[in-house]
Amino acid sequence: MAVLGAYPPGLTCRPIEDNDWEGIIDCLGRNFPTRSRSYWERAIVRMEKRPIVPDLPKYGFVLDMSGRIVGVLLALYFRHEGQEGEEEIRCNLSSWSVDPEYRAFAGKMVIAVLRKKNVIYFNVSPAPGTEKVNEALGFRRYSEGQLAFLPILSSVKHPYRVLEARSDLPEMSMLSEGDRDILLKHAALECRSLICVGEGKAYPFVFKTRRIFHGIVPCSQVIYCRSLEELSQCAGVLGRYLLRKGMLLAIVDANAPVPGLTGRYFAGSGAKYFRGPKPPPLGDLTFTELVIFGS
């Protein structure tokens, strides 16, 4: 993948504009043939509703060849409150799509995005065989695999209750403003936002229903937990709640089997990469393409 050299006449790399969407969907359709046009139309509607992070592109970048979109890189920027209360800016790079005759210039879009040094960039769905490309662009792997687990098999060690997050729920006051924002915004994005409450404490969790193993097996993808330790601590009571909703299996990013979670660890499955000040925590996929675009 070449990233240096001059553009050929007529080719430019620029931020996405609101009137680019028809050309963007056409380009994505050419390079992701298994995705329907309605999938991308729905994704774009959701992207348009996201809040803008000032001084950053709202949608990402395109390669424009004399008015025709021949390359796309979607960039999902969002603000995130860290565990210590500090604010981070994260960016999920997604749907890198370039027509074959212009792939020598594909890296130009990534370089255009990566100019901000204070942003945590990450890729949650790297294409197979792109490890060297990610490494050449300065990305490092932070999630080595995934754990498929059965939360119902975890013991219930504490008398916790599971509540569905709502703005008027009194227990929401037990959480930080950042956690409340995550729960409510993800509930509006068709995720299952839950609070595990007991012993004077509250633990936030977000799950998204998806299908794995070639779309056959339904599961609950962990979109947000503050730590894998909290997930393990609350897994038993969460498993009983999820089972009542018809969900038996759950998936979470991990670098090894997680104590207290009964299942199987798949090394290399769903590996994820980051570049920037620090990696996102395992179990935190908030506001990523998995949520915004859906399955």
Give pTM, 2 decimals. Answer: 0.90
Going from N- to C-terminal start, the domains of the chain cover 11-116, 146-292
* Predicted confidence band of residue 295 (pLDDT cuts 50, 70, 90): low
Burial class of residue 49 in the structure, from the number of CB atoms within 10 Å of its CB (0-12 exposed, 13-18 middle, 19+ buried) = exposed
* Cβ count within 10 A of residue 39: 17
Q: Output the pLDDT for position 82.
A: 67
Per residue in 192-219, pLDDT tens? 999 999 989 999 999 999 988 777 888 9
Going edge to edge, which strands form the sheet with 119-123?
A: 11-15, 60-65, 68-81, 87-98, 119-123, 263-275, 140-149, 250-254, 217-225, 201-212, 192-198, 161-164
Q: Output the pLDDT for position 2.
A: 46
48 or 152, greater pLDDT: 152
Q: Output the pLDDT for position 129.
A: 66
Q: Output the pLDDT for position 86.
A: 76
For 18-28, give one letter per residue: b (16+ CB within 10 A) or e: eebbebbbebb
Q: Output the pLDDT for position 1.
A: 44
Closest alpha carbon to 70 in 1, 12, 15? 12
Q: Which CATH class is domain 11-116?
A: alpha beta
For residue 224, give Cα distances in angstroms to 15, 56, 81, 82, 291.
30, 25, 13, 13, 11
